[in-house]
Chains A and B, each alone.
Chain A
Amino acid sequence: MTVPAGFGLGPLAPEIVLFAAAIAALFVHLFAGRRGRRAAGYVALAGIGAAGLALALTPPSAAALFAGHLAVDAFALYFKAAALAAGALAVVLAFRFFDVEGGEPGEVYCLMLLSLIGMMASVSATDIVTTYVAFELFAIPSYVLAGIFKKERRSAEAGIKYFFLGTLSSAIMVLGLAVVFGLTGSTGYAESGRTLAGANGPVALAAMALVFAGLFFKAAFVPFHMWAPDVYEGAPTPLVVFLSTAPKAAVIAVLIRAMTSLFAGQSAAWSLVLQIAAMATMFWGNLAALTQTSVKRMLGYSAIAQAGYLAIGLAAWGETGRMAVLFYIVVYIVMNAAAFGLILLVDRGGRFDETVEGLRGLARRAPLASAGALIVLLSLTGIPPTAGFMGKYFLFTAAVERGMVVLAVAGALNSVLSLFYYFRIGKALFLEEAADAVSGGPGPRPLPAVSRLVTVFLAACAAALLLFGLLPGLLTSPAVSAVLAQ
């Protein structure tokens, strides 16, 4: 495909804005010094806002750009918006985190924006080489982000783990892509897909398996999830929000694109693979979360389990299935950000308490934040009238429509399982007395200080979840047009 004459960089305006903001954030951080700790963050937030604006002004087009390497269709725009939202939520939480924990956050914001650019490129990619390059662009900054908190051993460990396993998965994926190229002689999704569909032999399946393994790793689907709990527990909380949401959105987008065109001929195989992955991911994530005592690790496993629900929609496929996935990914980003945000709600003498006990009795001290957290927990469990329920409803509907009742039943059972641990948090917040009041512990614990920023954050996320739960049409109509465009 040839580049249309006079074609500019217009459709890439959001990425360009983000790149400018990333560089600006780095320099602002260098020159603002310790006084303007948040300055770089504000620049990043403004950059995300400007990129969002640019995104809103970008008309979706079906045209293939740059010789068929990128497509800025409604589907890509939807996922770019989702990734930007995840980035913005993480930046806001980063304000709170670095206020309490200290540290040098300037490069954090720069790396987050760079990683976002990679994700936004990957959801547009319609060529296997571009896909791989975009993946590395978002992966490499995220390895650094996971390990950025050098004073914490856990963070350093998380970074190393993420790096080694991440590069391994990239290597596996690139091997799969190489096989695709070897079989088809082309790198575009559409052309390769047509050839692959004809050559539906074991080699094509092997190529698909390798590519999926790489993608599953990044989405933390069981059995490629081993890195996730440690990284989610070790990395600084706002970066966990970022790493557990935005890359997942990007990977899901790439998966959907690959399943639509590149591996369209292998649909029977990937449907089976995704059904198994959905089952394994949901059960593994939820069962492992049950036994955790640290809220952060519990939410880490919950983030894994939530991806399993997404896999139900991918397995069911069809218009409803994809729409459900697009709906749920946005809901997942909000829920997950808010849930991890809860950890940042109170600090005791400059430390965040990551245990369930630390949340006891907070409903009295922080009623608004606790009410917000309750709605988030209900949404995570999938109880109406929240968006989490609607999302699961769509996912299960898609499964039942395709005759995959077993998947729907498994998903429903997992909702019940997840209630056990989500409501340990709800119970601590509302039903139990604060440990300070009970006393008898070793020495007086410092009184928790409630953050106003996080309170507003939780309330806003909860309001969004209620809004999308009561009026899901606000999200489903862009999701449907995104699915139809792609």
Chain B
Amino acid sequence: MTILGIPILSFVVFFPVAGMLAVLFLPASRARAIKLVACVFTGLEFGATLLLIARLDVSSGEMQLVERLPWIKAIGAQYLLGLDGISLLLVLLTSLLTFVATVSSWEAIKGRLKEYYVFLLLLETGMIGVFLALDLVLFYVFWEVVLVPMYFLIGIWGGERRLYAAIKFFLYTLFGSVAMLVGILVLRAEHQTFDWMAMVAAGPVIPAALQGWIFLALFLGFAIKVPMFPFHTWLPDAHVEAPTAGSVILAGVLLKMGSYGFLRFSLPLLPDAARRFAPVIVALALVSIVYGALVSLMQKDMKKLIAYSSVSHMGFVMLGLFALTPMAAKGAVLQMVNHGLSTGALFLIVGVLYERRHTRLIAEFGGLASRMPVYAAVFLIMALSSIGLPGLNGFVGEFMILMGTFPVSWLWTAIAATGIVFGAGYMLWLYQRVMFGPLTNPANESLKDLTIREFATFLPLLVLVFWIGIFPKPFLDVIDKPVEKIIRIVNPAHFEARR
């Protein structure tokens, strides 16, 4: 299938670049036109990614709509894109959150609009490219393309310590990336190709010891991005300083790039190493879950609280992936989407208050529910979704992860479950301190409730939160086959035991 004569996957990857060029050619003085063009392009991009749903055959776990062109003959790199259910969900999440972030920036961003939207659109191309690239060189290129616009989004439109946070983000992730690059080069030396599909088809040809080294190299790249304890320290800084839209995309999409990398590359390409290192990674994931939750409890700044809660939630995703059972892995993929939706929404929620009061300190607020009832309702739903209340999306993902982990180890499951308890603690406590009680701070007397535009940005997220919570089957059907295929490669013993 093509759009405007361009194969659809290439179209969804590069359409934001077209938007970027459109914004570039607008004069900087025409602020409204710039915002409008950016919203239209991200909106159309979301529409284009919706078209992918109909094109995907969910009964197959194979890569579909594959586009293959020779690219760099000298080293055998190709321009190779492909889509399966896992990529589809993450691409949809990316295009939706970018659209939401763009719309939410309408009032929030005042200065240097043109550059802002240019970076935002460039970021979108990088992120979607990461989820669709099947050639490791191409994947790496998109992976790195994401860094630069995010660096500027934090560094230019961020808070007071933005310069520090921006370069810390850049350095941490670049360090991880170059380690990953070396891993990719060794993979290539072993396989004589950069083609993911060919590598999977070739099977485990790499000796186990070498797999371990490659795994560690890739691990650095992905684990810093996720981020897993102890590589998480860039995250609170980046989140707190980033503008709202930056935080939404950072938490919603960028962190998923790390977990996606583990699922797409580390597990199927290095199965022996993945099995060998699984206990270590699960241990780190459990530390992330509990540590992230405990640190969240102690935060005074709302944004920092949600940032640390991301560490905890991404720990769940990593636990699900490295339990190496289909159930847990499917839960992990779903949880990636859930975390994108609910944490993205929570950052927007904090952003709404920040735009009105220019502070994010919890102590500044209290009793807002009486002044902002609609806001209070949205906040409550998203907080409960983040906690994992049955009937909302977070529950489904977490439940599947725990259920898939239990046959492997009841101890892991028990430790992870305590994370949910802490999660309910910090989130409800946050809600209580901000929304309930008497309205004591006079500055909050005149707070306005959500505007129509603000509510509209929350609406698709609210719909999805309920949809996934009540009827997750369509989402699980999409990822069923591709996830099972990967788990079959990395943990064949699981399937034999059941037979």
Chain A residues proximal to chain B, CB less than 8 Å: 320, 323, 363, 374, 378, 381, 383-385, 389-390, 393-394, 396-397, 400-401, 405, 408-409, 412-413, 415-416, 419-420, 423, 427, 430-432, 472-473, 476-477, 479-480
- Decide if B389 is an interface residue (CB 8 Å cutoff): no
Tell me whether B185 and A396 are in contact (CB under 8 A).
Answer: yes
- Decide if B488 is an interface residue (CB 8 Å cutoff): no
Q: A384-B145, A423-B167 are in contact. Are A472 and B174 (CB under 8 A)?
A: no
Tell me whether B171 and A397 are in contact (CB under 8 A).
Answer: no
- Decide if B182 is an interface residue (CB 8 Å cutoff): yes
A141 shortest CB reach to chain B, Å: 35
Report which of A416, A430, A477 forms a contact with B174, defined as CB distance below 8 A.
A416
Report which of A323, A374, A394, A412 forms a contact with B179, defined as CB distance below 8 A.
A412
Nearest 9 Cβ contacts at the A-B interface:
A412-B178, A384-B141, A476-B74, A400-B185, A431-B155, A384-B144, A416-B175, A400-B189, A383-B144
Identify the closest chain B residue to A420 (Cβ).
B171
Q: With contacts A384-B141, A432-B163, A472-B72 known, what are 12 further pairs, Cβ within 8 A?
A: A381-B174, A384-B145, A385-B145, A389-B144, A393-B181, A400-B182, A420-B171, A430-B152, A431-B155, A431-B156, A476-B73, A480-B74
- Decide if B36 is an interface residue (CB 8 Å cutoff): no
Question: CA–CA, A363 to B114, complex, Å?
Answer: 12
30 A–B contacts, CB within 8 A, in A order: A378-B148, A381-B174, A383-B144, A383-B147, A383-B174, A384-B140, A385-B141, A389-B141, A390-B72, A393-B75, A394-B74, A396-B181, A396-B182, A397-B185, A397-B188, A400-B185, A400-B189, A401-B189, A408-B185, A416-B175, A419-B171, A423-B167, A430-B155, A430-B156, A431-B155, A431-B163, A432-B163, A476-B72, A477-B74, A480-B74
A420 neighbours in B (Cβ, 8 Å): 171
Tell me whether B75 and A427 are in contact (CB under 8 A).
Answer: no
Count the B residues whose beta carbon is within 8 Å of the partner chain — how many?
A: 32
Identify the closest chain A residue to B137 (Cβ).
A393
Q: A416-B178, A473-B73 are in contact. Are A427 and B163 (CB under 8 A)?
A: yes
Tell me whether B72 and A415 are in contact (CB under 8 A).
Answer: no
A400 neighbours in B (Cβ, 8 Å): 182, 185-186, 188-189
Question: CA–CA, A479 to B73, complex, Å?
Answer: 12
Q: Encode contact with A along B155-182: 1 for CB under 8 Å, 0 otherwise.
A: 1100000110011001100110011011
Question: CA–CA, A432 to B182, complex, Å?
Answer: 34
Give chain B interface residues in 168-224, CB to chain A under 8 Å.
170-171, 174-175, 178-179, 181-182, 185-186, 188-189
Identify the closest chain B residue to A419 (Cβ).
B174
A415 neighbours in B (Cβ, 8 Å): 174, 178
Number of cross-chain contacts by CB at 8 Å:
85
Question: CA–CA, A381 to B185, complex, Å?
Answer: 18
- Most B CB contacts (10 A, CB to CB) among A363, A378, A383, A476 go to A383
Question: CA–CA, A384 to B71, complex, Å?
Answer: 15
Identify the closest chain A residue to B71 (Cβ).
A473
A225 shortest CB reach to chain B, Å: 24
- Most B CB contacts (10 A, CB to CB) among A393, A432, A479 go to A393
A248 shortest CB reach to chain B, Å: 22
B182 neighbours in A (Cβ, 8 Å): 396, 400, 405, 408-409, 412
Identify the closest chain A residue to B189 (Cβ).
A400
A473 neighbours in B (Cβ, 8 Å): 71-74
- Most B CB contacts (10 A, CB to CB) among A384, A405, A415, A432 go to A384
Tell me whether B75 and A397 are in contact (CB under 8 A).
Answer: yes
Question: CA–CA, A378 to B182, complex, Å?
Answer: 19
B155 neighbours in A (Cβ, 8 Å): 427, 430-431
Q: Encode contact with A along B132-156: 1 for CB under 8 Å, 0 otherwise.
A: 0000010011001101100010011
Chain B residues proximal to chain A, CB less than 8 Å: 71-75, 115, 137, 140-141, 144-145, 147-148, 152, 155-156, 162-163, 166-167, 170-171, 174-175, 178-179, 181-182, 185-186, 188-189
- Most B CB contacts (10 A, CB to CB) among A394, A416, A419, A432 go to A416
Tell me whether B166 and A431 are in contact (CB under 8 A).
Answer: yes
Question: CA–CA, A408 to B185, complex, Å?
Answer: 9
A409 neighbours in B (Cβ, 8 Å): 182
Question: CA–CA, A400 to B72, complex, Å?
Answer: 18
Question: CA–CA, A325 to B178, complex, Å?
Answer: 20
Tell me whether A472 and B74 are in contact (CB under 8 A).
Answer: yes
Question: CA–CA, A222 to B152, complex, Å?
Answer: 35
B174 neighbours in A (Cβ, 8 Å): 381, 383, 415-416, 419
Question: CA–CA, A384 to B181, complex, Å?
Answer: 12
A389 shortest CB reach to chain B, Å: 7
- Most A CB contacts (10 A, CB to CB) among B71, B144, B182, B186 go to B182
Question: CA–CA, A381 to B179, complex, Å?
Answer: 15
B204 shortest CB reach to chain A, Å: 20
B152 shortest CB reach to chain A, Å: 6
A374 neighbours in B (Cβ, 8 Å): 148
Q: A423-B170, A476-B73 are in contact. Are A413 and B178 (CB under 8 A)?
A: yes
B72 neighbours in A (Cβ, 8 Å): 390, 472-473, 476
B187 shortest CB reach to chain A, Å: 10
A393 neighbours in B (Cβ, 8 Å): 75, 137, 181
Tell me whether B73 and A477 are in contact (CB under 8 A).
Answer: yes
- Most A CB contacts (10 A, CB to CB) among B140, B145, B174, B188 go to B174
B170 neighbours in A (Cβ, 8 Å): 419, 423
Question: CA–CA, A479 to B74, complex, Å?
Answer: 10
Question: CA–CA, A405 to B214, complex, Å?
Answer: 11
A343 shortest CB reach to chain B, Å: 22
A363 neighbours in B (Cβ, 8 Å): 115
B73 neighbours in A (Cβ, 8 Å): 473, 476-477
Identify the closest chain B residue to A406 (Cβ).
B182
A323 shortest CB reach to chain B, Å: 6
A476 neighbours in B (Cβ, 8 Å): 72-74
B137 neighbours in A (Cβ, 8 Å): 393
A412 neighbours in B (Cβ, 8 Å): 178-179, 181-182
Question: CA–CA, A420 to B172, complex, Å?
Answer: 11
Question: CA–CA, A155 to B458, complex, Å?
Answer: 63
A416 neighbours in B (Cβ, 8 Å): 171, 174-175, 178
Q: A416-B178, A476-B74, A480-B74 are in contact. Are A427 and B188 (CB under 8 A)?
A: no
A427 neighbours in B (Cβ, 8 Å): 155, 163, 167
B427 shortest CB reach to chain A, Å: 34
B115 neighbours in A (Cβ, 8 Å): 363
B74 neighbours in A (Cβ, 8 Å): 320, 323, 394, 472-473, 476-477, 479-480
A419 neighbours in B (Cβ, 8 Å): 170-171, 174
Tell me whether B185 and A383 are in contact (CB under 8 A).
Answer: no
A408 neighbours in B (Cβ, 8 Å): 182, 185
A480 shortest CB reach to chain B, Å: 6
Identify the closest chain B residue to A363 (Cβ).
B115
Question: CA–CA, A379 to B147, complex, Å?
Answer: 14
A321 shortest CB reach to chain B, Å: 12
Question: CA–CA, A389 to B74, complex, Å?
Answer: 15
Question: CA–CA, A170 to B338, complex, Å?
Answer: 67
Tell me whether A383 and B181 are in contact (CB under 8 A).
Answer: no
Question: CA–CA, A384 to B178, complex, Å?
Answer: 12
Question: CA–CA, A423 to B148, complex, Å?
Answer: 11
Identify the closest chain A residue to B147 (Cβ).
A383
Question: CA–CA, A416 to B176, complex, Å?
Answer: 9
Question: CA–CA, A431 to B148, complex, Å?
Answer: 13
Identify the closest chain B residue to A323 (Cβ).
B74
Question: CA–CA, A420 to B185, complex, Å?
Answer: 24
B75 neighbours in A (Cβ, 8 Å): 320, 393-394, 397
B166 shortest CB reach to chain A, Å: 7
Question: CA–CA, A415 to B173, complex, Å?
Answer: 12
B179 neighbours in A (Cβ, 8 Å): 412
A357 shortest CB reach to chain B, Å: 14
Question: CA–CA, A415 to B144, complex, Å?
Answer: 13
Question: CA–CA, A472 to B138, complex, Å?
Answer: 13
Identify the closest chain A residue to B178 (Cβ).
A412
B296 shortest CB reach to chain A, Å: 30
Question: CA–CA, A124 to B111, complex, Å?
Answer: 56
B171 neighbours in A (Cβ, 8 Å): 416, 419-420
